[in-house]
Amino acid sequence: MDSVSKYFSGLFTGIFSLLKGMSVTWKELWTPKVTQQYPENRDTLVISDRFRAELTMPHDENNEHACTACGICQMNCPNGTIVVTSQIIETEDGKKKKILDTHQWDLGMCTFCNLCVITCPSDAIKFENTFENAVFTRSKLVQKLNNEGSSLREKKKEVKPVEPKPVVEAKPVVEAPVTEAKPVVEKKVTEEVKPEEPKAEKE
C-alpha cells in the first residue's frame, strides 16, 4: 500500500508542476512582443551606461593619458588578456623614469570582469558601452589602447588657498601704579663696653 500511495503522490506532483509550467507558457504566448529593428534603430537605441563592451584608455586634448605602466591591471587579469610593456627613460634632471610603451588588450579573450578597471590606481582605463565589435579575423580583436606619440599626464599639485588668520584686537596695556619706595633704615647695633673690674692685690 505504501508503494502505491507513493506512486500516485509522485504522479499528481508531476502533473501539478507540469500544469504550473504550462500556465507560465500560456501567459507568455499572449504577451505582446517587442522586436528591436537593429541596425535601423541605431539613432534611438539606448545602451546602459554600465554595460561593459570595450576597454579604452582615455586621452585628453594634449594626447596624454594617466597610465603609469605599473602593470597592476595585467597582474589582476584572470585570462591574461592585458599585456603592458614599459621602457626606462632619463629625464632632463638626470633621473630615470618608467613610462608606458604599449598597452595591449585582447577583446576575444576578455571576460569583462572589470577587475582591471577596479584595481587601477590611477583610473587610466575604463569600459565603454560600444557593443559593435564584430570583425572577420581574430587578430583585429587585439587592440592597442594607448595612442601613438601619447605621453603620461603630469599630476598637478593642488595649491590650497591660504586662509587669512583672524585679526586679534590688541588689548590696551594697563600700567601698574608706581609706588614710592620707602627708605631703608639701617639699624646700628651698638655694644655696651663694660669697664674692667680692678684686680685684688695679694697680701
Residue 90 in domain: yes
Note whether residue 81 is domain-resident: yes
> Is residue 60 assigned to a domain?
yes
Between CA 77 and CA 111 the distance in angstroms is 9
The CATH code of the domain that includes 89 is 3.30.70.3270
Cell of 181: 619706595
Q: How far apart are CA 145 and CA 56, in angstroms?
A: 6
Would 200 be classed as within a structural domain? no
Mean pLDDT of the chain: 83
10 occurs within a structural domain: no
In a domain, 174, yes or no: no
pLDDT digits (tens, 9 = 90+) for 46-63: 888 889 999 999 999 999
Q: pLDDT grade, residue 144 (50/70/90)? A: very high
Q: Which residues does 12 contact at the CB level (< 8 Å), separation at least 6?
A: none
pLDDT at 21 over 70: yes
Alpha helices (H) in the chain, listed in sequence order: 2-29, 72-76, 115-119
> Which comes out higher in pLDDT, residue 84 or 97?
84
Report the domain count for the chain: 1
**Residue 191 predicted with pLDDT over 70:** no
**Is 185 a member of any domain?**
no
Residue 103: give the domain boundaries: 54-152
Asked if residue 30 is part of any domain, the answer here is no
